[in-house]
């Protein structure tokens, strides 16, 4: 058996000791003097170019590792100054190759080399025989203090098992995971003290023992804060759900830090270094946990713009305060001024209302909208609660009151409604404006109750979903699809207010058609809406460069007067090509689309749309 100091694989040659360095320098000096004398005599410098090749049974990925570690290969363009220097590189490579082979489990390898000085360039041939691959027989962890290790520090939790190839990478990763496990079980200062690696050449097996200096065992005390200016510390305490008196757990600390960052109130959050200098090594040590914050600006303003041939130009302004009363309350005003819509919306959101992961939402919405289907003047007020459910689900409900005056093809009517919007949404995507992986699904069900004789009662349901799949590395090609179904249960379409019916067509629906024109039309070819809807869309998002992308797409669907879709009626299909310019805030998009089954005297030959963010 032999004992090894187990080192991480390196692609650099081992360091020389002082005696070797001295002899090397002496040899270099003597040789340099001789070479200088020869040059003075001949007037020419000796050439020490070389070629390197390998023979033996090393091949594939292992050969690639050997070549990557070779100093001869790395310094091919920087020729040695002497033959002695070249031979030194050859010897250093031989030692480096042995380390690479041992790191891959080949402990009984043999390496020989031949330097043919008679050739120009000098020919260097390595013969490498790997020998058998060794396997891990046992892996053990002990504490330097002799205390018993936590039960969580087992081979399964650190991702190692006996019988695997005895690669150094496997052992090093297991050591790193052991340090992480200890940090999650009261030992944040644990580190490697020693390691004992025994290789048995008779059985071709290896036994590893890691000796860890576990440091003091810590119990957390109170949670304290530094750096706060406008954010209320009581709110952060409520958000933390902190429990003093439990073992230190690095995973809990890191999740708390991320939770604070997700509030959007801080630029940076970090934990103050622990002071364990007075900790008793043979017992537990209670330490307070202090989080240090850097608050971000809580107020901001913004401006956006969009344009499409079907909806015209539009601008959007907003003002936002993300910490109105010191506990992350968001107050926001949105103003939209566009050709078909003018709208002012005041919204308020209080996060963690009454309990964590539950939000109170309220808004007032004043709107004027004038389309080919209707003209609407309305004011509405909403209050409701959203609650996070699990990692990806959000469920919500509320109460909304609405007063409106609507003019359609028949007449002008005033309505008053009370509604109870109920929703459930699932979102596992990785980005809001430019998702490349994940899935979105949502259901909204809203019963409407008429508060006047002219206001009917009905039930509106919408189901939508989209999925995103990255096909190539670095998200160079992303395939995205979406679908939507809408259902209206109640009176006939003509009795339901025009603003509550379903419409399709336009930039957020079926590109290639004018806004709201897909579906039933009146005698003047103006849209009248319907009681059911089906939409489908698919895109291939191709990243041409880091900043530029192309997106071919196809979309289709229809609106029906019946309460359920009539799938025997033809879809209206549109297709086109989009250009994307990727910015820090999201992609800016330009889409050009054409109707594939164009209706005579109704549909234009093409439409284009400009906006921020992907179409879905």
Structure confidence at residue 26 (pLDDT): 35
**pLDDT reading at 497 higher than 90:** yes
Which secondary-structure segment (H or E) carries 52?
Answer: strand 50-56
**pLDDT reading at 13 higher than 80:** no
Structure confidence at residue 493 (pLDDT): 77
The predicted-structure confidence for 425-464, as pLDDT tens digits, reads as follows 999 999 888 899 999 999 999 999 999 998 999 999 999 9
Burial class (CB in 10 A: 0-12, 13-18, 19+), 451: middle
Band of the pLDDT at 24, cuts 50, 70, 90? Answer: very low
Q: How far apart are the first and last CA of the chain?
A: 64
Structure confidence at residue 29 (pLDDT): 44
The predicted-structure confidence for 205-222, as pLDDT tens digits, reads as follows 999 999 999 988 999 999
Query: What is the Cα–Cα distance from 531 to 614, expressed in whole angstroms?
Result: 28
Band of the pLDDT at 51, cuts 50, 70, 90? Answer: very high
The predicted-structure confidence for 270-306, as pLDDT tens digits, reads as follows 999 987 776 655 567 888 999 999 999 999 999 888 8
Phi-psi region of 413 (alpha: psi -120 to 50; beta: other; left: phi over 0): beta
Structure confidence at residue 53 (pLDDT): 93
Structure confidence at residue 5 (pLDDT): 52
Instruction: List the single range of 45-59, 274-288, 484-498 with lowest mean pLDDT.
Output: 274-288
pTM (whole model) above 0.85: no
The per-residue DSSP string of 413-438 comes to EEEEEEE--EEEEEE--S-SSS--SE
Question: Sign (positive/negative) of CA torsion 423, 427, 432, 433?
Answer: negative
Query: What is the Cα–Cα distance from 310 to 305, expressed in whole angstroms?
Result: 15
SS3 580: strand
What are the distances in angstroms from CA 170 to CA 104, 166, 550? 10, 7, 43
Instruction: List the single range of 226-235, 272-281, 287-296, 369-378 with lowest mean pLDDT.
Output: 272-281
**pLDDT reading at 592 higher than 90:** yes
Phi-psi region of 11 (alpha: psi -120 to 50; beta: other; left: phi over 0): alpha
Q: What is the average pLDDT value for the chain, to the nearest integer?
A: 89
Structure confidence at residue 279 (pLDDT): 64
* 3-state SS string for 227-259: CCCCCCHHHHHHHHCCCCCCECCHHHHHHHHHH
Query: What is the Cα–Cα distance from 208 to 197, expressed in whole angstroms?
Result: 5
**pLDDT reading at 44 higher than 50:** no
The predicted-structure confidence for 332-363, as pLDDT tens digits, reads as follows 999 999 989 999 999 999 999 999 999 999 99
- Residue 121, preceding bond cis, omega within 30 degrees? yes
């Amino acid at each position: 058996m032999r004992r090894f100091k187990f080192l991480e694989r390196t692609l650099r040659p081992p360091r020389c000791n002082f005696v070797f360095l001295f002899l090397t320098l002496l040899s270099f000096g003597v040789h340099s003097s001789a070479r200088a004398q020869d040059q003075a005599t001949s007037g020419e410098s000796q050439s020490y170019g070389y070629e390197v090749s390998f023979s033996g049974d090393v091949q594939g990925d292992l050969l690639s590792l050997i070549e990557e570690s070779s100093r001869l290969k790395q310094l091919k363009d920087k020729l040695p100054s002497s033959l002695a220097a070249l031979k030194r590189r050859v010897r250093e490579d031989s030692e480096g190759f042995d380390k690479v082979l041992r790191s891959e489990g080949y402990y009984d390898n043999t390496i020989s080399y031949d330097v043919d000085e008679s050739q120009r360039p000098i020919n260097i041939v390595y013969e490498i025989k790997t020998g058998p691959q060794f396997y891990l027989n046992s892996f053990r962890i002990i504490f330097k203090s002799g205390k018993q290790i936590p039960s969580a520090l087992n081979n399964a939790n650190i991702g190692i098992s006996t019988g695997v190839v005895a690669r150094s990478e496997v052992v090093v990763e297991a050591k790193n995971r052991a340090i992480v496990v200890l940090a999650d079980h009261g030992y944040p200062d644990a580190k490697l003290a020693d390691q004992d690696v025994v290789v048995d050449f008779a059985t071709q097996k290896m036994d590893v023992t890691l000796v860890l200096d576990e440091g003091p065992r810590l119990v957390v005390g109170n949670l304290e804060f530094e750096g706060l200016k406008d954010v209320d510390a009581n709110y952060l305490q409520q958000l933390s759900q902190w429990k003093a008196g439990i073992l230190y757990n690095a995973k809990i600390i890191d999740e708390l830090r991320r939770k604070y960052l997700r509030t959007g109130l801080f630029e940076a959050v970090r934990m103050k270094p622990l002071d364990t200098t007075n900790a008793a090594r043979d017992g537990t040590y209670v330490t307070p946990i202090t989080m240090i914050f850097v608050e971000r600006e809580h107020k901001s303003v913004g401006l956006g713009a969009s344009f499409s041939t079907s909806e015209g130009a539009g601008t959007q302004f907003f003002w936002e305060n993300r910490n109105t009363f010191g506990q992350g309350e968001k107050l926001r005003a949105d103003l939209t001024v566009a050709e078909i819509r003018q709208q002012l919306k005041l919204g308020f959101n209080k996060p963690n209302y009454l309990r964590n992961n539950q939000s109170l939402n309220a808004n007032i919405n004043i709107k004027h909208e004038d389309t080919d289907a209707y003209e609407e003047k309305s004011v509405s007020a909403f209050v409701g609660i959203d609650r996070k459910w699990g990692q990806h689900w959000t469920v919500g409900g509320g109460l909304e009151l609405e007063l409106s005056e609507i003019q359609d093809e028949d007449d002008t009517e005033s309505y008053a409604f009370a509604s109870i919007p109920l929703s459930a949404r699932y979102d596992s995507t990785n980005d809001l404006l430019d998702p490349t992986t994940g899935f979105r699904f949502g259901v909204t069900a809203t019963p409407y109750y008429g508060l006047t004789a002219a206001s009917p009662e009905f039930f509106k349901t919408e189901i939508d979903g989209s999925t995103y799949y990255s096909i190539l590395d670095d998200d160079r090609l992303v395939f995205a699809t979406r679908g939507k179904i809408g259902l209206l249960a109640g009176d006939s379409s003509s009795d339901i207010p025009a603003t509550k019916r379903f419409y399709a067509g336009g930039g957020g629906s079926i590109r290639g058609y004018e806004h709201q024109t897909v579906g039933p039309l009146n005698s003047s070819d103006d849209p009248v809406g319907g009681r059911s809807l089906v939409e489908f869309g698919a895109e291939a998002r191709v990243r041409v460069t880091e900043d530029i992308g192309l997106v071919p797409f196809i979309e289709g669907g229809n609106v029906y007067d019946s309460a359920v879709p009539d799938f025997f009626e033809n879809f209206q299909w549109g297709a086109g090509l989009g250009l994307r310019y990727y910015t820090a805030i999201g992609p800016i998009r330009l889409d050009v689309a054409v109707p594939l089954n164009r209706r005579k005297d109704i549909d234009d030959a093409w439409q284009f749309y400009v906006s921020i963010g992907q179409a879905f």
